Amino acid sequence: MKTFSYKIDPLTSENYLEVYLKGQQLMNNPFLNKGLAFSYEERMNLGLDGFLRDQILTVDEQAERSYEMFLRKHDDLEKYIFLQGVLNRNETLFYHLLHKNLKEMLPIVYTPTVGKACQLMSHIIRKFRGIYITEENIHNIDTIFQHIELPEIYLIVVTDGERILGLGDLGSDGMGIPVGKINLYIAAGGLNPGCCLPITLDVGTNNPARLNDPLYIGVRKQRLDGPAYYKFIEKFVLGIRRNFPHALLQWEDFSKNKAFDLLERYNQRVLSFNDDIQGTGATALAALYSAFKIKNTKFKDERYVIVGMGQAGSGVCFNIQKAMLEEGLDASEIKQRIFAVDIQGLLVDDMPNLENQMKPFAQRRSDLVDWNLDNSNFIGLKDVIKNSKATVVVGVTAQPNLFDGEILRMMSENTDRPVIFALSNPTSKSECTPKDVYEHTKGKGLIAAGSPFDPVEGQYGTMYASQCNNMYIFPGVGLGALVSKTPYITYKMFMAASKRLSSLVSKEELSKGLLLPEMNNIREISAQIAIAVAKEARDCGLGRLATDDEIELFVRKSQWDGNYYNYRAGKK
């Protein structure tokens, strides 16, 4: 079923693809199709003569034409549909176009537009990408995987669609997320699209809007749960190990409890990580490293309030905890500096039914006796900000305007330069806006947001908001893990990624209050993070033995350049 193979000419050392399709079959294959970039020799040898107009275009010329049509779309959803159309016709052109215009197109192919696209996926879908695994076909998983036309799979992004961004259970319409994440792995990290596979585990949905939508095309029943769900996942993971033993598996947008369970069960059985937990935590950690460079403080000097103790919030807490451990604080001292808040208010150790990820960050009730509270039966966010003397507040709640003017002013009273992270996606779910921070901190706040925001200008000068986008971290971590051949990923690898990312923020950017580097050179940022991860893998005894120079060479050579290969006709 393979449609091509990677080859090297033994005489000239030329890299080329040996392709097993001809004519219109070749042109209908999005990975192999070059459109008008097929050379005259390829047109003759591959049965394309007469099927194409006369001109031969470079990929840059094709991208220029596509960009012109992209600009004609006046609605972000239409732009998304257009770009998916390019992806479904010609993958190389799509990634070339995306890489050249990443800052402009990133909000289209991923947050915030991908959220709207997922909500409407059954209505707008034109062509199916990736693999859908269901209860009905899980027994046939080996055959399904063997029918994949790609010669080798090194990256898999998988979701079950239960917690898509801040939008909840979208069932199999959540496939837009694995597709989008792979778009970013390739455009930002430089992975070859010929080795990447998006997968959706379609185990039903509990969303009435999906079940009652006559156009919904996923499994139309209540979501699989309990022991049957975990048995299904086990069959899936075993299928991955049998068929793609060298692949990295990224868990994406699973519900909170399942995400933690799956990470714990499989993180050392299969090369894998959870971007919502580990990627978010590592990106936020990098932004905090930068913020404290601006403030000239250390982690142990700050007081942290984390609001929303799901996957992202727990990941942020865990990373702050590890950073303070590195600075020499013990567990008791760390607990006095991290204050975790969820729907029940401040987490306290005597609360019933605390979830497992919450328990390490729950405060001792005895430590709160001197707090001045509005209501002794409920310790709300404003109580926590006031009594903890918080200097950093991180929101991952999907509750817009949660950080109101009063809270932002209280933060300014606690510290001259409050650190405000409003990380929820899409933009409509952000806990506050940069404009809010600007007005209520008099331009002194240091802000990072989950979605892109324009700079704010006014009487206090210009405030810049960094987009705390996981794209800074996960492509480089994935590439570094694959290059190093580590059997699993440790928290120290993520910390190495965070430190390297922060080190890439220039002095000029720090002077503007930016906490993360500009995305214009994201391919190089990903390479630097991959190198740092591979070095940490080597140093901890898990990665391949290689010098620093060799590791850098491996990473550079593994990044796909976004150009067409030469083709030669082959026989299966």
Q: State pLDDT tens for residues 124-144.
A: 988 899 999 999 999 999 999
Q: Residue 557: CA atoms inside 13 Å, Cβ hemisphere, count?
A: 8
- Quick one: CA dihedral 245, 248, 254, 260, positive or negative? positive
Determine the Cα–Cα distance for residues 282 and 233; give it in Å rounded to an integer. Answer: 26
What residue ranges in 343-454 does DSSP mark as E strands? 345-346, 392-395, 419-422, 446-449
Domain CATH code at residue 538? 3.40.50.10380
Q: What angle do CA 168, 174, 176 make, to 5 degrees?
A: 130
- Considering the chain, what percentage of its residues have pLDDT values greater than 90? 92
Tokens 């005259």 belong to 40
- State phi, psi for 330 to the nearest 5 degrees: -95, 175
Give, rounded to a whole angstrom, the gap between the first and last alpha carbons of the chain.
Answer: 9
Last residue of a domain, one of 471, 498, 521: 471
Q: Which amino acid is at 525?
A: I
Q: How many residues are listed for the chain in this entry?
A: 572
**255 to each of 252, 258, 419, 425, how far by Cα in Å?**
9, 6, 28, 16
- If asked whether residues 509 and 540 sit together in one domain, one would say yes
> Which band of pLDDT confidence, cut at 50, 70 and 90, is reported for residue 98?
very high
Q: Is the pLDDT of residue 425 over 90?
A: no
Q: Residue 42 domain-assigned? A: no
Average confidence (pLDDT) over 230-234: 98
Q: Rounded to 5 degrees, what are φ and ψ at 168?
A: 90, -150
pLDDT at 184 over 70: yes
Q: CA dist 368 to 41, 52, 350, 394, Å?
A: 77, 75, 12, 21
Average pLDDT, the chain: 95
- Name the domain boundary from 438, 471, 504: 471
Domains held by the chain: number: 3
Residues 257 and 330 in one domain: no
Asked whether residue 482 falls in the same domain as residue 466, the answer is no
The SS3 assignment for 555 reads helix
363-382 confidence digits (pLDDT tens): 999 999 999 998 888 999 99
Residues 547 and 405 in one domain: no
Q: What is the rounded CA–CA span in Å between residue 377 and residue 449?
A: 32
Pairing of strands 461-463, 456-458: antiparallel
Q: Which two tokens stand for residue 151?
A: 């010669």
> Three-state secondary structure along 491-529?
HHHHHHHHHHHHHCCCHHHHHCCCCCCCHHHHHHHHHHH
Question: pLDDT of 299-310, one tens digit each?
Answer: 999 999 999 999
Last residue of a domain, which of 445, 471, 497? 471
Residue 572 has pLDDT above 70, yes or no: no
pLDDT digits over 526-550, tens only? 999 999 999 999 999 999 999 999 9
C-alpha dihedral sign at 434, 440, 443, 445: negative
pTM of the model: 0.94
pLDDT at 112: 82
Residue 309: predicted pLDDT: 95
Q: Does pLDDT of 165 surpass 90?
A: no
pLDDT digits (tens, 9 = 90+) for 344-367: 999 999 999 899 999 999 999 999
- pLDDT, position 111: 81
Could you tell me if 393 and 483 lie in one domain? no
Q: 389 and 509: one domain? A: no
Distance CA 316, CA 387 (A): 21
Q: Which two tokens mark 533?
A: 């991860």
Residues 303, 388 contacting (CB under 8 angstroms): yes
With vertex at residue 273, the alpha carbon angle to CA 342 and CA 233, rounded to the nearest 5 degrees, is 90
User: Is pLDDT of 166 > 80?
Assistant: no
- Does position 323 have pLDDT exceeding 70, yes or no? yes
Within-domain flag for 96:
no
Residue with tokens 């006369």: 54
Distance between CA 81 and CA 70 in Å, rounded? 10
* pLDDT for 556 beyond 70: yes
Same domain, 346 and 253: no
Residue 443: its pLDDT value, please?
96
The reply to whether 481 falls in a domain is yes
Phi, psi angles (nearest 5°) of residue 19: -105, 145
Catalytic positions? 110, 181
**How far is it, in rounded angstroms, from Cα 415 to Cα 302?**
9
Alpha helices in 267-359 (DSSP H): 280-295, 311-326, 331-335
233 and 336 part of one domain: no
Residues 332 and 215 in one domain: no
Residues 430 and 538 placed together within one structural domain of the fold: no
Those residues whose C-beta lies under 8 Å from the C-beta of residue 356, and which sit 6 or more positions away, are 260
Domain containing 244: what range? 103-270
Q: Supply 423's token pair.
A: 């990380």
